Amino acid sequence: MIIESERLILRYWNEDDAAVCYEYCKDPKVGPITGWPPHKDIEESLYIIRNVLTAPDNFAITLKQSGTVIGNVGLKYDDLACDDKENSTEIGFWLGVPHWGKGYMTEAVKAIIEYIFEDLHKETIWCGYYDGNDRSRHVQQKCGFKYQWTTPDVDVPLMNEKRTGHVNKLTRDEWLEEGGGRHARLYDTNKYRLAEAPFYDERYDRISWVDIIDGKFYTKQGSDESVCFDAGQKIGSAIPLKNTKGYVLACQDGLYTYENGKLTKTVDLKSYYKSYQRSNDAKADPDGRIFFGSSVEGDHSPCGNLYSYFEGAVKVQQANTKISNGMAWSHDKTKFYFSDSLEHAVFVYDRDLVTGDITNRKVLFEINDGVPDGLCIDENGNLWVAVWDGKRIECRSHKDGKLLDVIRLDARHVTSCCFIGKNLDTLFITSSGEDLEGESDGRLFICKPGVKGVICDKATI
């Protein structure tokens, strides 16, 4: 088991580490402050490695560049500050004196916190320190731990004395709220002005996305290189078609079919859109209806509608939207989820199983430190929402909108996401680089979120 951070690798201890372990642990500044006496010789350090440091989920902290061991961080289950051992753990740590004051301990603790919450799925982490151990207290504070209580006359058996102990706690919810979560990695080296509308068509192992501003539509099948089609106008979205290998494109002035490299207008939207409006996000509902929203361009007040198209009829499903964006339908087809970006909210509607119409709009959750953009749904029915100006994807409960998980990105304007791959276990994420200069702005990302998605609905036109 290996855990990596920017400068460190956390790996299991081995007997070859005895000499360096002794060099650190013989120093009276290291052990006594945490509750154990200095090591007397290498043989004692070897004994400690064999019988203590090789416990499960205990890690030697090593420098990534040189491989040098510099300290230890590990989990404890048998001496928890609470009885909930199934959902909780405690961590302890020490660092060799030559490496103090360089931020290594904080970096290591943050890395193991992510491991505990994301891989072990614990809900609470406990950590403590004895009176006078200000370095440990500062590390815990920097990592988000919050004070719980102080206990006088705590037995410290290895030192044969009593001390005052302080207990801190960090919950998964607190960690997520303060910027915790997984980090997505770059998918390729390309940059886009406004990448959006990612879809995965499991029938052909094919990913697709658009660059709205450049009017380009991209597809990538399996391990092949991506293929680009220039539509000659702005594209809000491209949805896989149900009965062919083609797509329906929601463009500047209409709905088009794209098949075999040819674009054909199927629905003219000039009578529905004002001159300064265009299509934005679009998706197919479980019955193949096309839901698409309009967006405003230029110096105009936000105004638009969310439409549906089915069997030759265009219908307004939600009037007076500000910016129509992410859409998803519940697994039982009775709910519709929709992000109206400039409302800073994701709404939930009741859905008619016969007509597909949506009613009874309610706020499911709001996002105030950023703008909710495109979204998708996972196998558990929860929503994964791109946060524009937030550098993240949020996973939200479909029941009450509670924040469940966060994926961090280096791109500022995150636009949308979908699950891809034969197992639907990888999140494919788009972003915008328009008017931004960051190295990762406008690039594509992927991440393994630890949950699977569902097959996307295909459009009928």
Give the C-alpha separation, 239 to 18, whole Å: 60
Q: Is 288 left (phi over 0), alpha (psi -120 to 50) or beta?
A: left
Q: Which string of b and e fits 48-76 if b means at least 16 CB within 10 Å?
A: bbeeebeeebbbbbbeeeeeebbbbbbbe
Strands 182-183 and 403-408: parallel
CA–CA dist 368, 371 (Å, integer): 7
What pLDDT is attached to residue 81? 57
**Tens-digit pLDDT profile for residues 184-219:** 999 998 999 999 999 999 999 999 999 999 999 999
Q: Are 204 and 163 in contact (CB under 8 A)?
A: no
**pLDDT reported for residue 82:** 59
- Which residue shows structure tokens 């996002």? 367
Same fold, 2-180 and 183-447: no
pLDDT of residue 103: 97
Instruction: List the catalytic residues.
Output: 373
Which residue ranges in the chain fall short of pLDDT 50?
none
In this structure, CATH architecture of domain 2-180: 3-Layer(aba) Sandwich (3.40)
pLDDT for the residue numbered 178: 87
- The pLDDT, as a whole number, for residue 80 is 57
The vertex-53 CA angle with 93 and 45, nearest 5°, equals 100
Q: What is the pTM of this model?
A: 0.80
Alpha-carbon distance 409 to 419, whole Å? 16
- CA 96, distance to chain mean position in Å, is 34
| Long-range contacts (CB closer than 8 Å, 24 or more residues apart) made by 406-409 | 406/176, 406/179, 406/180, 406/181, 406/182, 407/181, 407/182, 407/183, 407/184, 407/447, 407/449, 408/179, 408/181, 408/182, 408/183, 408/184, 409/183, 409/184, 409/440, 409/445
Name the CATH superfamily housing domain 183-447.
Answer: TolB, C-terminal domain (2.120.10.30)
Q: 35: closest CA among 149, 150, 109, 132? A: 132
Predicted local distance difference test score (pLDDT) of residue 303: 78
Burial of 452 from C-beta contacts in 10 A (0-12 / 13-18 / 19+): middle
Domains of the chain: which residue ranges? 2-180, 183-447
